[in-house]
Amino acid sequence: MQTRQVPIDSGFDARTTAREVLKGIDLSGKTAIVTGGYSGIGLETVQALAEAGATVVVPARSMDKAGAALGGVAKVELDELDLLDPESIDRFASRFLANNRPLHILINNAGISGNPLTRDSRGYESQFSANHLGHFQLTIRLWPALMKAKGARVVTLSSRAHEDAEVDFADPNYLHRPYNKTLAYGQSKTATALFAVALDRRGRELGIRAFAVHPGAVLTDLIRFMSDDELQAWGLTRDLKHGSAPAGLSVDEGGIFKTLRQGAATSVWCATSTQLDGMGGLYCQDVDVAKILGPEATSGTGVKPYAIDPVRAEQLWNLSEQLTGLELSIAKTA
């Protein structure tokens, strides 16, 4: 088990915002890619990085929606990408690599949650496909640009939902078991945490470090598939503004819900902070390295051991290579 998966007392907390994390940091000359960077937490992440001087490329399935959200933000570039379409991922990566520029920061932020059973063109369950396999393929395809940075970070969003399910390596795509949208989402977020462990092992000698992030409870478009009963269980109604919680439910008032700016903070910290130099393969939340939860704990303020287990991480990597048909050859790319 990873001995460095312990809080480092960063000086930040759940109320910290992305801009507070970046105070005094100059990202001029750095290039970042943020998937899902035109709504919710991703939009706040892009704005904060761009304000700090980075050039931020935002892949978008809807170019019109992305343009409307980011039209006034300087140092932002838009390009087409659909994480459920392997050919779209390859085309995006090829266009980026053709510019021959380094990639200093890759934030795998996009995701879907709790949707009815749908599948990509290969027959893979959509939450596992978009949240994990799409980002796996994107990261592998962008590997040459990450190496060119000579010091890059890959940040992939996980979730407290990883506590709901381990990865079912025998049937990750719900071909032989009843579909459960909650467990499918949990499985995908356990996968993103394990991905960071396996990726960091492959990249650390090349200066590429990887982190998984739980952004906290944030009201975004991801709640659109929740039923009224599910919303009521959280003290919410259908009529709410994404990114802000009703009075008494916000983290600033002792509740659990963060603002979008607070939700983006841990991603930005993992992508830029010198506090994490020499570290990687870690699960982070509330702008710090998370603690390891005991087997029976369900506090939501840490990570389950199975989500950072190096043996499971390698098992997931091998499965991901099989499902995508991709292989990362360190010897050829080093």
pLDDT digits 0-9 by tens, 72-85: 899 999 999 999 99
What's the pLDDT score for residue 278? Answer: 96
Q: Stretch 205-220: mean pLDDT, rounded? A: 89
Q: What are phi and psi of 313, to 5 degrees?
A: -60, -40
What's the pLDDT score for residue 74? Answer: 92
Q: In b/e form, how buried is each residue of 209-238, taking b as 16+ CB within 10 angstroms?
A: bbbbbbbbbbbbebbeebeeeeeeeeebee
Return the higher-pLDDT residue of 256 and 326. 326
Ranges 33-42, 220-229, 256-265, 312-321: which has the least confidence: 220-229
Q: Stretch 119-134: mean pLDDT, rounded? A: 97
Written as one string, the DSSP assignment of 75-100 is TEEEEE--TT-HHHHHHHHHHHHHTT
What's the pLDDT score for residue 330? Answer: 64
Over the stretch 184-209, which tens digit does the pLDDT of each residue have?
A: 999 999 999 999 999 999 999 999 99
Return the higher-pLDDT residue of 159 and 240. 159
Name the amino acid, one letter, at 222.
L
What's the pLDDT score for residue 224? Answer: 53
- Strands, DSSP E only, in 109-261? 152-157, 208-214, 217-218, 257-258
What's the pLDDT score for residue 332? Answer: 42
Q: What is the mean pLDDT of the chain?
A: 90
Written as one string, the DSSP assignment of 284-322 is EETTEEPEEPPTT---SSEE-GGGS-HHHHHHHHHHHHH
Tokens 């709790």, located at residue: 114
Name the amino acid, one letter, at 221.
D
Query: In which band, very low, low, confident or very high, does the pLDDT at 1 lie, cut at 50, 70 and 90?
Result: very low
Annotated active-site positions, please? 185
Q: What is the pTM of this model?
A: 0.91
Q: Look at strands 55-60 and 208-214 and give their pairing.
A: unpaired
Q: Quick check: 194 and 316 in contact, CB under 8 A?
A: yes
Domain ranges of the chain: 18-223+260-333
Q: By 3-state DSSP, what share of the chain in percent is helix, strand and coil, each rounded to 5?
A: 40, 15, 45
- pLDDT exceeds 70 at position 220: no
Percent of the residues in the chain that have a pLDDT greater than 90, as a whole number: 80
- pLDDT exceeds 50 at position 334: no
CA distance 282 to 135: 17
What's the pLDDT score for residue 28? Answer: 98
- pLDDT exceeds 60 at position 234: no
What's the pLDDT score for residue 169? Answer: 98
CATH superfamily label, 18-223+260-333 = NAD(P)-binding Rossmann-like Domain (3.40.50.720)
Over the stretch 64-115, which tens digit does the pLDDT of each residue have?
A: 999 999 988 999 999 999 999 999 999 999 999 999 999 999 999 999 998 9
Tokens 């343009």, located at residue: 67
Q: Stretch 261-283: mean pLDDT, rounded? A: 97
